[in-house]
């Protein structure tokens, strides 16, 4: 947290317009949009488009979950392929939740909240990164460390801002 706050201050120094805008959005629009804008959910509050978050780590594969095996965490609904995965997730939800709330990791690096495709994923240092599509993933992988470092700095800034506001 300390590090993030420091980055935010740096950002506002580099781009005061954006920083001001971000904070304005934080106070004005967060309530208007209601649901937490820091998670990439569909209209029904479903995360990962219904894919099992645990399977990425256990099988290194994207596996669709079953609506019958669901769990809620932090305002999002997750589906799981089996009961074991659900228990595993509930034991340590933070470990298995997708990074950047399930938004496209490369998009976050450039300050955008783009939909992350659950089929296009990569696990780096025990964290699940999703991408918009395979083209984006290719770009992202080309400078993986740099992109992750930048995105980690950007994410706290855009995290509370709804996606629509970022494009106005």
Partner 1 sequence: MSNPPSDPDWTVHPIRLTSISARYLTRFVPIILAVFTVLISIYGTIAYREALSSLESKLDTLVSRQSLLMGEAVAEGRNDRIGLLVAQTIADRDVATIAVLDNSGAALNQYGDLPDQNAPLTRAVAINYMGENSYKRVGTLVISMSEGPAVDRLTYTLFCIALLGLALLAAASVAAHLVLRTTVSQPLDKMLTAIRIQRESGARIPIDWDSEDQIGQVVSAYNALQLRQTKTESDLTRLRVKAERAHQSKSDFVGRVIDELRTPLNSIVGFSEIVSSQRFGPDTIHRYLSYAGNINQAARHLLYLIENILDLTQLEGGEVEPVFAPVKVEMLLRRAENTASSLSRNKGVRLTVNRPTLGYALNVDAELIGTLLGKLLENALRKTPEDGKVELTFAVSPGGTASFTVHDSGKMIPEAEIERLLIPLAMSREIDERRYHGTGLGLPICKILAEMHGGTLEISNPPTGGSAVSLLLPPSRVTETPETGPSTGGDIQPGTNHRATRASVQYLHGPA
Residues 13-42, one symbol each (x = binds partner 1 by CB under 8 A, - = not), give -xx--x------------------------
Query: If binding is defined by CB under 8 A, does position 166 make contact with partner 1?
Result: yes
Using alpha carbons, select from 40, 8, 1 the residue that is nearest to residue 153: 8
Cα(79)–Cα(63) distance, integer angstroms: 10
State the DSSP H helix or E strand holding residue 164, giving kind and residue range, or none if neither.
Answer: helix 163-166
| Min CB(152)–partner 1 separation in Å | 12
User: CA–CA separation, 21 vs 165, rounded Å?
Assistant: 9
CA 48 remoteness from chain centre? 10
Asked if residue 142 binds partner 1 (CB under 8 A), the reply is no
Query: How long is the chain?
Result: 168
From the list 32-40, 56-64, 83-91, 134-142, the region that binds partner 1 by CB under 8 A is 134-142
Residue range at the interface with partner 1 (CB under 8 A); choices 10-18, 30-38, 54-62, 74-82: 10-18
Q: Which is nearer to partner 1, 21 or 33 (CB)?
A: 21
Helix intervals (H) in 34-143: 53-58, 83-91, 93-96, 105-109, 134-142
Residue 167 as a binder of partner 1 (CB under 8 A): the answer is yes
Binding site for partner 1 (CB under 8 A): 10-11, 14-15, 18, 104, 106-107, 109-112, 114-115, 117, 132-133, 135-136, 139, 147, 150, 153-154, 166-168
């Amino acid at each position: 947290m300390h590090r993030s706050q420091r980055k935010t201050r740096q950002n506002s120094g580099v781009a005061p317009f954006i920083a001001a805008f971000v904070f304005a959005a934080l106070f004005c629009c967060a309530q208007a949009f209601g649901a937490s804008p820091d998670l990439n959910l569909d209209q029904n509050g479903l995360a990962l488009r219904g894919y099992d978050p645990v399977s990425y780590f256990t099988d290194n594969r994207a596996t669709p979950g079953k609506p019958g095996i669901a769990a809620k965490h932090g305002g999002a609904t997750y589906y799981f392929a089996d009961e074991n995965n659900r228990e595993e997730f509930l034991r340590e939800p933070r470990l298995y939740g997708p990074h950047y709330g399930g938004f496209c990791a490369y998009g976050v690096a450039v300050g955008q909240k783009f939909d992350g495709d659950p089929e296009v994923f990569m696990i780096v240092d025990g964290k699940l990164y999703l991408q918009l599509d395979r083209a984006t993933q290719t770009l992202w992988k080309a400078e993986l460390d740099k992109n992750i470092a930048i995105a980690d700095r950007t994410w706290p800034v855009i995290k509370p801002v709804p996606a629509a506001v970022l494009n106005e």
